[in-house]
Amino acid sequence: MSIAASTGTPSATRIYARIAGTGSYLPEKILTNAELSTIVDTSDEWIASRTGIRQRHVAAEGETTGDLAYHASVRALEAAGVDAAEIDLIVLGTTTPDLIFPSTACLLQHRLGANGCAAFDVNAACSGFVFALAVADKFIASGAAKTVLVVGAETLTRMVDWTERTTCVLFGDGAGAVVLKADTETGILSTHLHADGGKKELLWNPVGVSVGFKENAPNAGVRINMAGSDVFKYAVKALDSVVEETLEANGLDRHDIDWLIPHQANLRIIEATAKRLDMPMERVVVTVDRHGNTSSGSVPLALDEAVRSGRVQRGQLVLLEAFGGGFTWGSALLRY
């Protein structure tokens, strides 16, 4: 009998995708609730009491999703100590790309000087960054990539109807990015992704390429349509479910989580998720009051703020989660 047969074949060492650096970027212009009340019939009290939002950032004329993504990416690369030439893959979550094609990821790749690596966009609405992170994690875990740039970037104010107070008060522009490196010690433990296209018309934009841009069509115009109360109910239920799924998959108790970094859509949804985890709000990263809903940009923006402020420390368990149009929802559990 050979030695290999008698001792067994050594199991392969698991490769994790570790966050090596984070970065974010917000447009210079800030639009407060008070300023918004001069545009549409609303007030600071009305917005804040329903959403927790006090202000949002708005991209300048000519400032694109790609511009925001670039600045966030540069900061993430600097924090990671990684040169653009080392990037094997770029995955960019967005629902507001610069162009129909090429992808914003390709435009970002060239601007960074990372030409040659794979680069593509992921559109999962507000879950875009979590979906992009899950894709990148699988590339690293499989050995197909060692260094990946993952970005969430949006200019949602470009599709806001500023006369519709139930939606225009919610959204802002911004971008966040992380650099993932292959690691044998720590990193992303699991990701969990879901979608339900049957709920399309509860949160959607009714125009597109193959369905057309007809101005006289029902709900015509590049605008966000949302059934707010229905979205709220589905979001809370879906996030409860994916949190439970994440904990069960990792054999963890809810009290094992050090930080919750949720999608920043609505403070009430965030508080409901924290309550489900029996987690005090002091351990929940909240930026919705200052950023509004930046869709796929919100989770990486909040993560970068938490890291740079010193709240999130190496070795801590961090739960990321998001819910968006589609419906899409998902989570990522990582040991930072």
pLDDT computed for residue 214 by the predictor: 65
Count Cβ neighbours within 10 Å for each residue of 231-261 and write b for 16 or more, e otherwise: bbebbbebbeebbeebbeeeeeeeeebbbbb
Which architecture characterizes domain 189-335 according to CATH?
Answer: 3-Layer(aba) Sandwich (3.40)
Of 129, 141, 183, nearest in space to 303 by CA? 129
Contact 238, 298 (CB under 8 A): no
Domains 16-185 and 189-335 belong to one CATH topology: yes
Domain coordinates in residue numbering, the chain = 16-185, 189-335
Residue 293 annotated among the catalytic residues of the structure = yes
pLDDT computed for residue 223 by the predictor: 83
Cβ contacts of residue 181 below 8 Å, gap of 6+? 17, 18, 20, 80, 82, 146, 147
Residue 71 annotated among the catalytic residues of the structure = no
Cα–Cα distance, 184 to 16 (Å, whole number): 6
Model confidence pLDDT, tens digit, residues 78-118: 999 999 999 999 999 999 999 999 999 999 999 999 999 99
| Confidence category of residue 213, pLDDT binned at 50, 70, 90 | confident
Tell me, what amino acid is at 38?
T
User: What's the mean pLDDT in 126-146?
Assistant: 98
Residue 117 annotated among the catalytic residues of the structure = no
Question: Looking at the domain that runs over 16-185, which CATH code has it been given?
Answer: 3.40.47.10
| Candidates 57, 126, 205, 291; catalytic one | 126
CA atoms within 13 A on the CB side of 307: 25
Contact 105, 123 (CB under 8 A): no
| Candidates 192, 263, 266, 291; catalytic one | 263
User: What's the mean pLDDT in 308-327?
Assistant: 97
Cβ contacts of residue 277 below 8 Å, gap of 6+? 243, 254, 257, 260, 319
Cα–Cα distance, 175 to 151 (Å, whole number): 7
Percent of the chain with pLDDT over 70: 94
pLDDT computed for residue 221 by the predictor: 62
User: What's the mean pLDDT in 156-168?
Assistant: 91
CA max distance for the chain:
84
The pLDDT mean for the chain works out to 93
Percent of the chain with pLDDT over 90: 87
pTM: 0.94
Four-point Cα dihedral 259, 67, 124, 261, nearest 10: 10
Contact 70, 176 (CB under 8 A): no
